[in-house]
Amino acid sequence: MPSVILRDTKLQGNIIEKDSITIDGIIEGDVKAEEVIINKNGNITGSLTADNNIEIGGQVTGDLSSDRIHLNSSAKVRGKLSHRNLVVDEGAQLEIASLTRKKITNNNKE
């Protein structure tokens, strides 16, 4: 079942979620989940790691790692991105280094 961190919430510490997490609040710590969604009011200081997808509409200072990263027009991101697919909407504010990963197969290591 997906988790939601509401707008008026401030958390310090790392979060591990087995499913999806949507964040509207403030997090100081790393977040790991199958899918991480940071809404427009979300503000994260820490690394984000997701198996499938990271979608950013708010502010993140930290590294992002996922198969797919989508930076919405309202995104403000500072950090390193590691991904297979990257989507950046016009208007996103970025200070990033980006690394595109290859798909790993039995015969082909990353």
Q: What is the per-residue pLDDT across 44-75, written as a single tens digit (0 to 9) for each?
A: 999 999 999 999 999 999 999 999 999 999 99
Q: What number of H helices and E strands is found in the chain?
A: 0, 14
- What letters, b where the CB count within 10 A reaches 16 and e where it falls short, cover 72-106? bebbbbebebbbeebebeeebeeebeeeeeeeeee
> For position 109, what pLDDT does the model report?
45
Model pTM score: 0.88
Instruction: Indicate if the pLDDT at residue 36 is higher than 70.
Output: yes
Instruction: Indicate if the pLDDT at residue 110 is higher than 50.
Output: no
Q: Going by C-beta distance under 8 Å and a sequence separation of 6 or more, which residues neighbour residue 28? A: 10, 11, 12, 13, 45, 46
Sign of the alpha-carbon torsion through 29, 43, 37, 100: negative
Mapping DSSP to helix (H, G, I), strand (E, B) and coil, where does residue 53 land? strand
Cα 48 from Cα 63, distance rounded (Å): 6
Q: Residue 37 corresponds to which amino acid?
A: I
Q: Predicted confidence band at 1 (pLDDT cuts at 50, 70, 90)? A: confident
Cα 73 from Cα 91, distance rounded (Å): 5
